[in-house]
Amino acid sequence: MYENLYEQITNVLVNDGYVVINDALNAVTAATLLQEAKEEKNYKLAGVSTASAVDENRRRDKIHWIDVHSMATKKYLAFTTGLQNYLNRHLYLGLRYYEAHFARYEVGDFYEKHLDAFKSTKNRVVTTVYYLNDAWSDADGGKLVIYDKEGNELQKVTPNANTLVVFMSEDFPHEVLPAKKTRYSIAGWFRVDKVS
C-alpha cells in the first residue's frame, strides 16, 4: 500500500539523511489521530534525553506513549511497521522495534535544540515525526527546525496535519520553537536495542 512512499523515504534518507513529506498518509487517519490526541487524558510532562527528570528550561511538552488501542493508531503503527521492514530490507539497519508517543505542546511550550541519539549509543536510529494539526499558520509558531551537524539551519517545518518528517536520529540536531496555540504530533523512533 505504501511501497512508493517507503521507497521515496529510503532514497532521500540515503542521499540527504532527512525528508519532509506533505500529505504523507491518509488525511482521515490524521484527523482521527488528532481527535484521539485531544481526548487523551493521561499526558505527562516529558523528561530530557534518557534522564527521567523534568527540566522545564529545556523542554515543556507533554507526552503519552502509544499502543494499539484504536483503529487510527493501528493504521499508523502498521505504516511504521512497513517502513521498518522496508528500511531493514534495503538499508540493512537492523531495526528491531518502533516506539512512539503523542506530543502536546500548549501555548509557550518548546523543546530546545537536541539530538535524539548520540554517537556510539546503539538505541534510536531513525526518527519520525507525524503532525496532526489542522489549520496551522506561520503565526501559530511551533515549527520544527532541523540543523546539520555544524549547527546550520537546514529547514523549518510547519506542523501541518498529515506532514511526515523522517531523519537519521544521531545526525540532525533539531528543536521545536514555542507554540502559540496547542500543537499535536506523534514522535517516534526505530531502535536497534532490545525491547525493555
Instruction: Give dist(CA 131, CA 32) in Å, integer.
Output: 12
Phi, psi of 97 (to 5 degrees): -160, 170
Instruction: Give dist(CA 152, CA 160) in Å, integer.
Output: 23
Instruction: Give dist(CA 67, CA 101) in Å, integer.
Output: 9
pTM of the full predicted structure? 0.94
With beta carbons less than 8 A apart as the criterion, state whether 161 and 37 touch.
no
Which 3 state secondary structure label does DSSP give 59?
Answer: strand
Instruction: Give dist(CA 49, CA 52) in Å, integer.
Output: 8
Instruction: State the pLDDT at residue 67.
Output: 85
User: How many other C-beta atoms can be found within 10 angstroms of the C-beta atom of residue 10?
Assistant: 18
**Residue 65: enclosing H or E segment and its boundaries?**
strand 62-65
Instruction: State the pLDDT at residue 32.
Output: 96
Looking at the domain 3-191, which fold is it?
Answer: Jelly Rolls (2.60.120)
User: Which of 178, 181, 176, 99 lies closest to 137, judged by CA?
Assistant: 181
b/e burial code for range 172-181 (CB count within 10 A of at least 16 → b): bbbebeebee
Compute mean pLDDT per 10 residues along the chain, 196 residues long, and list them: 96 98 95 96 80 70 90 94 98 96 98 86 91 96 97 98 97 98 98 82
Instruction: State the pLDDT at residue 53.
Output: 56
User: How many other C-beta atoms can be found within 10 angstroms of the C-beta atom of residue 59?
Assistant: 21
